[in-house]
A = this chain, B = another copy of it.
């Protein structure tokens, strides 16, 4: 009794949750560090950010790189798969700008 998910479900499962969208948005500007993301993303807790980043890394959306400085430096950047999702974000941004305040 197995039904397999449509492409949209696949996409949603890979992305995960709402935080992911916002993390992705930040990373389109270029690689970022943990605290940078934490500062930039309004209201995210370290806990939620950790979870989100791990999920995205597991799904090959981003790559995590550790530099053995003191203290340690960790950078996050998008993979090709993550970059490809940019088209979705762009459409979403356009829609949000055009309709975000419309009540009809």
Shortest Cβ distance from residue A21 to the other chain B in the assembled complex, whole angstroms: 6
User: A93 contacts B11, CB within 8 Å?
Assistant: yes
A71 to B87, CA, bound (A): 44
Q: How many copies does the complex hold?
A: 2
What are 30 A-B pairs with beta-carbon distances under 8 A?
A: A5-B42, A6-B93, A6-B96, A7-B93, A7-B94, A7-B95, A7-B100, A8-B21, A8-B25, A9-B42, A10-B96, A11-B93, A11-B96, A11-B100, A12-B21, A12-B92, A14-B99, A14-B100, A60-B102, A60-B103, A60-B104, A81-B99, A81-B102, A84-B98, A84-B99, A85-B95, A87-B91, A88-B92, A90-B91, A91-B91
